[in-house]
Amino acid sequence: MFGFLKKESGGVTAPATGKCIRIEEVPDAVFSQKMMGDGFAVIPSGDTVAAPVSGEIVMVAQTKHAFGMKTKSGIELLVHIGLDTVELNGEGFTVLAKPGSRVKAGEAVIRFDKAFMEGKGLNMTTMVIFTGGYDREIKISQFGQDVTAGEVVLPE
């Protein structure tokens, strides 16, 4: 999809187009206090959430609001779409990549109905949480700036 991401080790990319923020800025203590792990977030301006790394989709939540990935190098991460979206039981989400699929960084995994989510008053901030295999400090120069889905934010 994005020619510059063909390399397996290009880094971690933005999961959505929108404003990149520190995990500590997410208005939910589970994420901001790093209870699930360290990471970063994007406040999406669009309706598509992409794979932040090249690897395998190892899990898609039954409620379609989150998915897990693992890279060849052993990095495990969770992408969680929105706050309190688990309560929708999958309504408003379309899964584009199933568990077991190999995807490239920047490839669309889940799409959500933006108008539906806005109508429900939901915050669609999307978090990338490192759950294993990534122990480096999260240093992102784009914090507070707009990013594009598939744009490298954590170079390797």
Of these residues, 53, 80, 117, 150, which one is catalytic? Answer: 80
65 counts as catalytic: no
Q: Name the helix (H) or strand (E) containing 31.
A: helix 29-32
Buried/exposed code over 79-100 (b: 16+ C-beta within 10 A; e: otherwise): bbbbbebbebeeebbeebbeee
Judge contact between 96 and 105, C-beta under 8 A.
no
- By annotation, the residues acting in catalysis are 80
